[in-house]
């Protein structure tokens, strides 16, 4: 049986924690007696979560933080440390996906996405991971204890038609996690890292996406995904890829690119975004 670490009274920060799997993770960790802080820009959702947590005698506190803004991250990090102490577990969960243009121009879809949307995607899905780690990792290294969780995606392992900016970001943070793990290993640090690469999750962010073979690539239920992520953190797993079929991308990359392209088309990956609507 895998070792399960004790997170009682540990301070956990979850970015983008007011909705989706961020919210579910917040309650899952709090139910294990951790102290949970969520960062988000949705004031009403934060208040609702805090009230619900209070009714259940759980420690979940919200802070307004726009993770697309580096200075906001640094200033809120200082406030967090002053109010609650050092962060033990950082869950970089915040993420967005650009909405599909109503009348896209001819050519690759990303050409029709406004520059501002692409910049916003990279700021939140990639750069915020750098700034949160620069804010909290030094204290983990100093204490030789801590855990960084990077929420990447199956779209960080294989390119998806209609998701160019999102895929670019998720590929980036997959590499970010791997390089960070290597650096921590070289310095023999006890700080742990976990990268999470799920297929589409039914949080609403990918409303309208389709899968051709649901028995191989199911749209994941958010409760199931949350349970697997929390378990991976407690077990200090370095990597969580779900469902298992996504592991085949590593095998396909050993073959000429034409095989990967064929597989993406055959398994419906290249058409999964055809009816994408996004969060309604």
> Cis before residue 200, ω within 30 degrees of 0?
no
Q: Span 260-277, mean pLDDT? A: 91
Say if CB 170 and CB 110 are below 8 A apart: no
Active site residue 166: yes
* pLDDT score, position 104: 81
Give the pLDDT confidence of 85-142 residue by residue, as tens digits.
Answer: 999 999 999 999 988 777 788 888 889 999 999 999 999 999 999 999 999 999 999 9
CA dist 88 → 25, 34, 41, 233 (Å): 15, 10, 22, 12
Is 35 part of a structural domain of the chain?
yes
CA distance 206 to 197: 15
Is 88 part of a structural domain of the chain?
yes
CATH of the domain at 199: 3.40.50.720
pTM of the entire structure?
0.95
Is 73 part of a structural domain of the chain?
yes
Is 276 part of a structural domain of the chain?
no
Domain that holds residue 98: 11-271
Is 184 part of a structural domain of the chain?
yes
* pLDDT score, position 100: 78
Average pLDDT, the chain: 95
pLDDT bucket at 1, cuts 50 / 70 / 90: very low
Angle between helices 128-143 and 70-84 (to 10 degrees): 30
Helix, coil or strand: residue 29: helix
Is 140 part of a structural domain of the chain?
yes
The residue length of the chain stands at 280
Q: Span 48-74, mean pLDDT? A: 98
Give the pLDDT confidence of 128-169 residue by residue, as tens digits.
Answer: 999 999 999 999 999 999 999 999 999 999 999 999 999 999
* pLDDT score, position 2: 52
The strands making up 192-198's β-sheet, listed across from edge to edge, are 60-64, 35-40, 11-15, 89-92, 147-151, 192-198, 239-242
Is 155 part of a structural domain of the chain?
yes
Total number of domains constituting the chain: 1
* pLDDT score, position 279: 61
pLDDT bucket at 280, cuts 50 / 70 / 90: very low
Least confident of 5-19, 88-102, 129-143, 217-231: 88-102
* Residue 69 or 280, more confident: 69
* pLDDT score, position 15: 98
Say if CB 88 and CB 137 are below 8 A apart: no
Identify the active-site residue in 84, 129, 166, 224: 166
pLDDT bucket at 276, cuts 50 / 70 / 90: confident
């Amino acid at each position: 049986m895998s070792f399960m670490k004790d997170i009682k009274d540990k301070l956990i920060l979850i970015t983008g924690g007011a909705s989706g799997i961020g919210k579910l993770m917040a309650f899952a960790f709090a139910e294990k007696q951790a102290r949970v802080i969520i960062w988000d820009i949705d004031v009403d959702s934060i208040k609702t979560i805090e009230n619900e947590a209070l009714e259940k005698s759980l420690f979940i506190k919200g802070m307004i933080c726009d993770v697309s803004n580096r200075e906001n991250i640094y200033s809120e990090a200082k406030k967090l440390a002053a109010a609650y102490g050092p962060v033990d577990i950082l869950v970089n969960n915040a993420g967005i996906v650009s909405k599909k243009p109503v009348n896209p121009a001819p050519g690759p879809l990303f050409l029709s996405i406004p520059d501002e949307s692409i910049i916003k995607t990279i700021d939140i899905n990639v750069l915020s991971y750098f700034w949160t780690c620069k804010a909290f990792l030094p204290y983990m290294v100093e204490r030789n204890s801590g855990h960084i969780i990077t929420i990447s995606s199956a779209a960080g392992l294989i390119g998806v038609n209609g998701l160019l900016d999102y895929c670019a970001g998720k590929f980036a943070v997959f590499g970010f996690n791997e390089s960070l793990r290597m650096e921590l290993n070289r310095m023999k640090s006890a700080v742990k890292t976990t990268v999470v690469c799920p297929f589409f999750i039914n949080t609403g962010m990918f409303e309208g996406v389709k899968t051709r073979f649901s028995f191989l690539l199911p749209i994941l239920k958010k409760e199931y995904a949350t349970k697997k992520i929390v378990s991976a953190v407690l077990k200090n797993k370095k990597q969580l890829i779900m469902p298992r079929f996504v592991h085949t991308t590593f095998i396909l990359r050993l073959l000429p690119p034409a095989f990967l392209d064929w597989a993406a088309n055959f398994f419906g990956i290249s058409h999964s975004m055809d009816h994408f609507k996004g969060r309604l």
